[in-house]
Structure 1
Amino acid sequence: MTDPNNLMSAMGGGVDLSGLAQAHQQRQQAAPGAQGAPQGQAGGGAAISLPDAVMSGGEAELEQFSQYSTQVPVLVQVYSQRDPDSIALTPVLEELVRSADGRLIMLRIDADAHPQLGGQPSVLALVGGRPVPLFQGNPPRDQIVQVVNELIQVAAQQDVTGQAVITGADAAGTGEPAPKPIPPLHQEAQDALARGDVEAAKAAYEQALKESPADDDAKVGLSQVNLLVRLQGKTLQEIRDRAAKDPNSIEAQFDVADLDLSGGHVDDAFNRLLALFSKVDSENKNEVRERILELFDVVGPTDARVIRARQQLTNLLFA
């Protein structure tokens, strides 16, 4: 884990938290005696009450959680639904945070919805209002557990030893209900991803769709897991070499599109498959169309790139 004293280390393309660090310094200058406050009240703030130990948000929530971190250490996950590592990492982090009984909280930031906060998916911490880069990608679970334990220890060394109260209801008293529980088969799929068993996750989502064909969340989850399954055991170089050697191979072009999508090159993936759809004979057009539609599900139906590519596909279908 990054040395907590080197809090302004580069994030390697992740979230730019220099503004938070500056805000923290200003608060410290305004209240230099804030360090070392009693347990649960570090920084002199009110006790933290949250509906869930894991929350989602953007710039305003990031600033709020920076303030919370003077009392309780905070994990920040910058994620993307187009990134397989993000998909696999999320249930692991959520499980660890929720099992900490309020001694650790987490803010999730959608990098696609909040591009001003950073580009690449990554995980960092906030301790005492200061950012601590942790890791990128999806390390093995035991390494993540070690990092989280070290984070709590580092926070304790800095007297950040509070405990958030998880209410299960809206903390602001608006009367909004707590989030709906995750359906059992969805939870089974997420648990399988957390332990790296993508085949079990696929089976769980398939069963969910069998029981409820209109379950859109299961459909998206299955599409994301299928992408992980297809890329397993294949290297970037192998995929690109095969496509270059056999440009007429549908499967080879499918693999490159999967690779592009997993790397965030969404337009490249769609354009490749749309071009392939135009070239293949009538017998193979439906196969290519089905793969394009599946990748639409991975990215999400409201994404501008999906909307644009869907229109192009429609034009090709009726050309």
Structure 2
Amino acid sequence: MTQQPFSRPGAIDLSALKRPAQPTPAPGGGAPRAPGGGAPAGGAPAGPSSYAVQVTEENFQGVIEASMGAAVLLAFYSRTRMPESGDLAADLVTLSAEFEGRFLLGLVDIDAAPQIAQAMQIPSIPLVVAVVDGRPMPLFQDVLPIEELRTALTQVAQQLTTQGITGRHQPRAAAGAPGADGAGAPGAEGEDAEPPVDPRYAPAQDALGDGDFDRAVEEYHKLVTANPADSEAVAGLAMARLLQRTAGVDLDHARAAADAAPDDLDAQTLVADLDLLGGQVDEAFTRLIELVRRTSGDERNTAREHLVALFGAVGNDDPRVLKARGRLASALY
């Protein structure tokens, strides 16, 4: 699976999630998924979700405008041409409910709304596009298991947070429900309404948006102290600390220092941090695992703890983290 890169706050860049396009089968190719596993063939993806809307020519502009306050995902699919693309859309409907307004899902049936597909120059289906501040950015172009989708969207949400994009959408009519194809589209809760922000995370997210990483660490630490099981706060704290450690660091200088001193703990962990932020997650993990393998005593323990902190920043359920944990165990024992 193609994974979400991490980057410093600024213009969001989700392009590394883009995957090679899958060939679109001829009409009728592939059997629809059984009830309970996706959407019925020929229809809109099953729901319900208060954070998904069927996109039409009439409400398309409103859906795009909704991205000015919080992220929008557009899922392009066709039950007629590729039933599996409808299954993907159905899984995204399910996940949109889980994320509770962190993004609004717009479902675009390219057979029912071909003009939208043409206007956005859709090369193939399925295609999932993120829209932030009206700017579309491809995420992925293939059918993924729902567990991998959940991991990818969690990483997208984390990156949005680090870049100060913290708005949430108001719940609305569920996809496929009366009003969800137009009247219940974005704007039903008020065109000018400001998307709500979960008040628990607002101080930390505001600090990240301001580039005040010290304050962000402090705010996330309060949340984790109050509820150590708050996975979003734990991940936010790990990312805020990562941004705090690397603020103002010159990558080229740091990499040259690490190359000159391969066993220097501080130099190696700093480059691992920078690699992670640059989207080179596996490289960051490998650097620290090899450092663990070469060191001993307190230095080895420090390198191990640093690596575990990076696991938290990426997400402990991420496949790359699970793989790296196995490699770390081998290096230790």
Which band: TM-score by shorter chain? 0.5 to 0.7
Distance in 1 between residues matched to 2:281 and 2:107, nearest whole Å: 27
Q: 1:244 aligns with which of 259, 269, 272?
A: 259
Other-structure match for 1:35: none
Deviations 1:226-274 (A, max 9, x none): 1111111110112112212322211110011111111111111111100
Any residues of structure 2 matched to 1:61-210 within 5 Å, and which? 61=106, 63=108, 67=116, 74-77=134-137, 81=155, 86-89=160-163, 91=165, 94=167, 168-173=172-177, 183-210=198-225
Cα distance between partner residues in 1 of 2:15 and 2:293: 36
Provide the C-alpha distance between the structure 1 equivalents of 2:230 and 2:211, rounded to a whole number of angstroms: 24
Q: Quick one: which amino acid aligns to residue 221 of structure 1?
A: G
Q: Kindly tell me: are residues 224 and 171 of structure 1, through their superposed partners in 2, closer, same or farther at Cα, counting changes over 3 Å?
A: same
Q: Of 261, 269, 276, which residue of structure 2 is paired with 1:261?
A: 276
Aligned residue in 2 for 1:283: 298
User: Is it true that 1:56 corresponds to 2:47 in the alignment?
Assistant: no
SS across alignment from 1:184: coil
Larger helix percent: 1
CA deviations on 1:254-305 (whole Å, 9 max, x unpaired) are 0111111111111111111001111111222221111111111222223222
Q: Structure 1-normalised TM-score?
A: 0.53
- CA change 1:212–1:83 in 2 (3 A) is closer
- Mapped to 2, the partners of 1:69 and 1:183 lie a distance apart of 37
User: C-alpha separation between the residues in 1 aligned to 2:329 and 2:160?
Assistant: 31
Instruction: Name the CA distance, whole Å, in 2 between partners of 1:233 and 1:196.
Output: 11
Q: Answer whether contact 1:270 1:309 (CA < 8 A) is retained.
A: yes
Letter in 1 for 2:209: A
Displaced runs of 4 or more, over 4 A:
11-16, 47-50, 61-66, 77-80, 82-87
Equivalent pairs, count = 207
1:312, distance to aligned residue in structure 2 (A): 1.1
- The question of whether the paired residues in 2 share the 8 Å contact of 1:189 and 1:200 is answered with yes
Alpha-carbon distance between aligned partners in 2 of 1:46 and 1:313, rounded to the nearest angstrom? 53
C-alpha separation in 1, matches of 2:233 and 2:17: 30
**Identity across matched positions, percent:** 29
CA RMSD for the aligned pairs? Answer: 4.2
Task: Tell me, in whole angstroms, the C-alpha distance in 2 between the residues paired with 1:237 and 1:268.
Answer: 16
